[in-house]
Amino acid sequence: MIINNDTIIKDDDPLIRTKSKDVALPLSDEDKSLLLDMHKYVYDSTIEEIAEKENLRPAVGISAIQVGVPKKMTAIIIKDKDGNPIYDFALVNPKIISSSIEKSYLKYGEGCLSVDGEHEGYIYRSARCKVKAYDLLLDQDIIINAKGYLAIVLQHELDHFKGVLFYDHINPKQPYFEDPEAICIE
């Protein structure tokens, strides 16, 4: 599948609100190839020359519904400043099995490949979460103990399975309401 900024479903398409379904394991060739294409998108999207040539918008994650497929699959790559992946996942049926009461939020807000408009405000999420999934890259079931930025990214991507977008979480009356107990991530 060709994935680029023109083929990614945007939030003006009601499809983005579709609830995603569990994926049968072992993966079919079709599901495997889609997830690898999503993973390649995320990897290439932060390499400037490729991103420019192939019309990719920089991202740390993408979920299958964003290419119009309502299946619980997501690819996440968080790179260090030299471009080497610190976290690298191609997840199937990821599920949050526990999460902290303590919250955190990104100081500069969140972004999404499916959202072009500006939506300013803080998005509070659990500061830590434990996610169980099958990871295609390792070909095994894994448990991710996430905190900090990774925990935010996982919760953002898993929200896509419910048809939820990041700005749904912004307090409409007080978008920059500051919760003094929450951890601010810069």
Binding site for Co ion (CB under 5 A): 112
Backbone angles phi, psi at 2, to 5 degrees: -85, 120
Backbone angles phi, psi at 125, to 5 degrees: -135, 170
Catalytic residue chosen out of the listed positions 110, 157, 178, 186? 157
| Nearest distance from C-beta of residue 65 to Co ion, angstroms | 9
Looking at beta carbons only, is 127 or 152 nearer to Co ion? 152
| Nearest distance from C-beta of residue 175 to Co ion, angstroms | 18
Whether 52 is catalytic is: no
CA distances from 114 to 3, 68, 77, 99 (A): 12, 11, 17, 26
The residue sitting closest to Co ion, measured at its beta carbon, is 112
Give the type of residue at 116. Answer: D
Looking at beta carbons only, is 128 or 160 nearer to Co ion? 160
Looking at beta carbons only, is 112 or 150 nearer to Co ion? 112
DSSP-based three-state secondary structure for 148: helix
Quick one: three-class SS letters along 5-38?
A: CCCCCCCCCHHHHCCCECCCCCCCHHHHHHHHHH
| Nearest distance from C-beta of residue 63 to Co ion, angstroms | 7
Q: Which active-site residues does the annotation give?
A: 157
